[in-house]
A and B are shown apart, each in its own frame.
Chain A
Amino acid sequence: MMIPSATTPPSTADVALLAFGNGAELAARDLYAVAAGLSAFSEEEKTVLVGFHDHHRAAAQALAGLVGSDAPNVREDAVYNAFRSRLDGSDKSAIYDALRELENTLVATHTSLVGTLDGTAGSALVASIITTQARHAAILALVAGRALNDALVNSATALTPGTN
């Protein structure tokens, strides 16, 4: 059992960062919805894609809850557009690779946020999102038949709020 520690609420600066996270998570949710609708995937594969879709939706909702009434609750189109064109066709491994890059990008972005956020309530929530999305990325490498190194290494670059 870890030592309990009081968390501190988001600062004014935190709100903008967490709001960006909210939009990025909604973009990921919509991208998974596109992937899960592709005929290339079996029902069992779609179940996994929908499960990951639900995780991103939950992350977006949790971030919105922390931000409060300032939460945009609108997807970050720059993130969505960066990956949307790769979610097409019948090459499942290529689609899994695109989704893995999306997950790795979100992990890198959220990790960067943890180093910036003032309030620990925000950093605690984002940290719990990071460990789940890192698992997503590792699994997407495995189901695509990639090497172990691809599951374990994240070489993605973090997004910068307001510049994407």
Chain B
Amino acid sequence: MNRYSRRQVLRFGGAGVAGVVLAACGKQANVPESENVVSVGVAPSKVTLPNVEVNDVVLLRTAASLEFNAIDTYEAALGLGVFTGAFAAAGDIAKRLRDDHKGHAEAINGLITKLGGTPFTCGNPRINEVYIAPALELITATDNENPALDVVVLAHALENLAAQTYQGVVTMLGDKALRQAAIGIGQDEARHAAVLAQALNPGLSGILPSVNPDTGKANVAAVPSAFGPLTPINVTVGPVQADGSRVSLILETPSLNSLAYDSVSCG
């Protein structure tokens, strides 16, 4: 009978365990090789994110994308056929503002081309996904009692968003001439917002900030403050829900996850 010392038993046992582990890590029949780090289960293939830079071209492409968001929204609103009767004038305003946005988009894309960038010719996909599409879905719900009014509410919010975006990019654009061009368009958007605010809350009482005494909430104001704000924009649209409330969306100006980087395309 062979006799093994305690040390020999441990040595042979360890080698055996190591062999089993190595065998498990090695090639096996009928199992495809993977470049991934060894792991349990099937790991997804690696996706490499593109290297992106926030530069003047990206900021201008983002501005252009918002112009197309506005154009698309006005087109959708006009297509709903809700601008009749008391809202007929709002339809004329919508056409004019849509055309202004077309001019802005052309001007911005002209600047992008001059800088050697690729023009952006569609709406910002992220803004559309999180703000505009949900809002339009609420507005066009069959049980929404006043889609025409809600369309104006959405347009007013988008004009404020555009004005804020142009105002905000002034400090980020490196080229001073581009800053001037941006705020030149931003002041147009601010005018649009003021005109639409008067459509929502007409007359002298709708110009400066005020509060609805019944609800305690702020009324729409054409000139809401002494300085252009850069704050989130609240939009309440759609049908009245079972609890008596309506859905509110909070709009914010584009940030890192919604810029029109070079790698973002309209295709």
Of the candidates A107, A117, A152, the one whose C-beta lies within 8 Å of that of B195 is A152
Q: Contact string, A97-128, partner B, CB cutoff 8 A, digits 1/0?
A: 00000000001000110111110100111011
Q: Is B222 an interface residue (CB 8 A)?
A: yes
A-B contact count (CB 8 A): 144
Cα–Cα distance between A155 and B23 once the two chains are bound (Å): 81
Q: Which of A31-39, A53-61, A67-75 is near enough to bind chain B?
A: A53-61
A114-B179, A124-B171, A148-B93 known; A3-B191 Cβ under 8 A: no
Q: Contact string, A122-139, partner B, CB cutoff 8 A, digits 1/0?
A: 011101111111111111
A59:B226 contact, CB within 8 angstroms:
yes
A128:B188 contact, CB within 8 angstroms:
no
Chain A residues in 8 Å Cβ range of B179: 114-115, 123, 127
Chain B residues in 8 Å Cβ range of A48: 204, 207-208
How many chain-A residues does the 8 Å CB contact rule pick out?
47
A124:B170 contact, CB within 8 angstroms:
yes
Chain A residues in 8 Å Cβ range of B191: 134-135, 137-138, 151-152
B interface SS class = helix
In the complex, chain B residues 142-186 whose Cβ is within 8 Å of any chain A Cβ: 163-172, 176-177, 179-181, 183-184, 186
Could you say which interface size class chain B belongs to? 35 or more
Q: List 6 A-B contacts (CB under 8 A).
A: A1-B255, A3-B255, A55-B226, A114-B180, A131-B183, A151-B195
9 A-B pairs with least C-beta separation = A115-B180, A131-B228, A134-B187, A2-B168, A58-B226, A131-B190, A128-B227, A135-B194, A138-B191
Residues of A bordering B, CB below 8 Å: 1-3, 5, 7, 44-45, 47-48, 51-52, 54-55, 58-59, 62, 107, 111-112, 114-118, 120, 123-125, 127-139, 142-143, 148, 151-152, 154
Q: A3-B255, A132-B190 known; 9 other A-B pairs, CB under 8 Å?
A: A1-B253, A3-B172, A55-B226, A116-B176, A127-B186, A128-B228, A131-B167, A131-B186, A139-B198
